[in-house]
Structure 1
Amino acid sequence: MNNPARTLIIINPASARARRAWPKIKGALADASINFDAHETTHAGDATEKTRAALRDGYNVIAVVGGDGTLSEAASGFFEFHRDGNTASSHHPSPINRDAALAILPAGTGDDFARGLAGKREALGKWLENFIAYLRHDDVSAAREIDVIHGWVEHGERDFICLNVATIGLGAEVAARVASQGGVMRRLPGEVRFVAAACGALAAWRERTVRVTVDEHEVIEGQTNLLAVANGIYAGGGMMFAPGARNDDGLIDLLWSHDLTRATILRELPRIRRGEHLANERVRLVRARHVRIETEKQEDALLVEADGNVRGHTPAEFRVMPGAIQVVGK
């Protein structure tokens, strides 16, 4: 970062952890004589709108105090989407400011993207130290370029940016249930909420026949329990969905599971937490730059979520954008 930082901090007040963390963050920034503006989100998509407007107005650092969903919304705001066709292949998101950076101050339920960057769940204080060092030019290496995934769904949000992991089918149903949890459930650890939601979604699930086109030539067809498109390692509050995924290799990790009974899926949950599920012969891993997913029957369209936010239904496409965004973190 060569120019003085003009910083906007976006806070998700719906997150209890974010509400508790914000006074500490604000105090540390004041002690370090850091100038910033702040905005509390008020509705879904607000972080995207505010980020996009801020970058157009000359801000060059956007920090997020919240979880994966708010962080993902802010990341989408770094890009303009150009709709010149009806697939992700014909859309070319362009950055508003290539020199701008997205700073992570994790204060969500799972904080899976931050966990993947650091290799473990780090205390907020460590992230805050790095953030302040970056803003004061003490440690410009705190920022690095990473890949993002450009996602597109025919029925729903249409275009979006996925920072971490998108799931299609059963995984998306689980994410939708986690998002709708309230009361006591919202105060439980992320992994507990994930397992509870998984049990409920699994009881109502049935396999669908899916066609997946990889890099526009390889076609995989068959029934599936779960499809995951990964840029990062963790999802679902610390579940190691894609243990070999890297967010700087220019590739998507596509996970496909099939012919797993409900009992087998429940047995696999602890193994997913340790990243051992890839040893199951009914779980397949493919690395690609572009993936298209569609169901055999339109009435079997699958739910799609990315970074914990439900995006719509298949058909869906995902295309990697190498080195598309700078993040400030670990």
Structure 2
Amino acid sequence: MRQFTAVVNPTAGDSTGAASLLHLARLLREAGAELETEYSNSLAHAQDIARQAGERGRVVLAVGGDGMAGGIGGALSGTGTVLGLVPAGRGNDFARALGLPADPAALADLLLHAEPSPVDTIEVESAVHHRTVVLGSVYAGVDALANRHANEARLLRGSASYYAGGLRAVTTWRPADYRVTVDGEEHAHRGYTVVAANSPYYGSGRLIAPGARVDDGLLDIVMIREAPRRLFFTLMNELKTGGHVHRPEVRVLRGKEIRIEATRPVPYGADGEVEATLPVTVRVRPADLPVLWRPATAERP
């Protein structure tokens, strides 16, 4: 029977990550699993707890949102430690990409019985962050600004905070001139954003990269060009379905290594947490992290 260490972000989802764990913990223990719970006081603290648990051969459960999942997943990348996710944040986009069930009983069954299956990760390299590893996506432009605003919108929850943050960001955004190098080939781009996506989702369920797969060894690069502000609001709405990728203002490439630069300071983010300014280089790390999920039942937009 599996031995779990749950690493909890107490502030996940503006509530308590512990609340999401209570029912699940009872089900795991009733099934005979061993579960210890550790509360983190920062992402760095959570990563330390996760590494130490992994060194003891335990399955690490990240209890929180995408920042917690990405931070702990990044800390465990390449170590062979098995990761499980307990979605308890506002976005939960990587858990959505894995098709993890919301029902505690179904999630407990998966954590107890699913075979670990590897997922790709993203190595992020910049002057500020040196080398860090995340799970879902790296985004440079108006969406990074929107995420910053969403994190400040403490009175709003879930997708409402991201939508409000997006509206605020778009009203002040000036199109940026980017240079995007994908596997050695340069592409000039003027517009709103460049997203390197391992997961199809970001921003609380927005389907930014419908073709992205967490286990295909590639990143989908989504570039949204300069467009009238009215059209950009339409594109924002189309992110609910992924329909934006069919518009001429949107270009999608695929690759293993992407460098994103801009002619003015442009913010970038990753998994809702990392905040810095371009330039940044991102690389896929194929099959880098064993995770408890069932690939056959994962969402395929």
| TM-score (norm: length of structure 1) | 0.84
Counterpart AA for 1:43: S
Pairwise mapping of residues 218-237 of structure 1 onto structure 2 (< 5 A)? Answer: 218-237=185-204
Counterpart AA for 2:82: A
Deviations 1:253-287 (A, max 9, x none): 00011112221111112211100001110100000
Matches of 1:151 and 1:261, distance apart in 2:
31
Pairwise mapping of residues 1-330 of structure 1 onto structure 2 (< 5 A)? Answer: 5-15=2-12, 16=15, 18-55=17-54, 57-79=55-77, 95-96=78-79, 98=80, 100-118=81-99, 122-133=102-113, 139-140=114-115, 143-155=116-128, 157-182=129-154, 184-185=155-156, 188=157, 190-216=158-184, 218-296=185-263, 300-330=264-294
Q: 1:154–1:314: 8 Å Cα contact kept in structure 2? A: no
Matches of 1:302 and 1:53, distance apart in 2:
36
Q: 2:27–2:105: 8 Å Cα contact kept in structure 1? A: no
Distance 1:106 1:124, change over 3 A: farther
Structure 1 gap segments, 5+ residues each: 80-94, 134-138
| TM-score (norm: length of structure 2) | 0.91
Matches of 2:16 and 2:137, distance apart in 1:
22
Deviation at 1:17, TM superposition (A): 5.4
Q: 1:150–1:318: 8 Å Cα contact kept in structure 2? A: yes
Matches of 1:51 and 1:236, distance apart in 2:
25
Structure 2 gap segments, 5+ residues each: 295-301
SS at match of 2:278: strand
- Percent identical among aligned pairs is 25
Aligned to 2:297: none
Q: 1:115–1:122: 8 Å Cα contact kept in structure 2? A: no
Q: 1:50–1:77: 8 Å Cα contact kept in structure 2? A: no
Distance 1:121 1:23, change over 3 A: closer
Counterpart AA for 1:149: I
Number of aligned pairs? Answer: 292
Matches of 2:22 and 2:235, distance apart in 1:
40
Deviations 1:29-65 (A, max 9, x none): 221221132211112322222222333x323411111
Matches of 1:327 and 1:23, distance apart in 2:
21
Aligned CA-pair RMSD:
1.7
Counterpart AA for 2:105: G
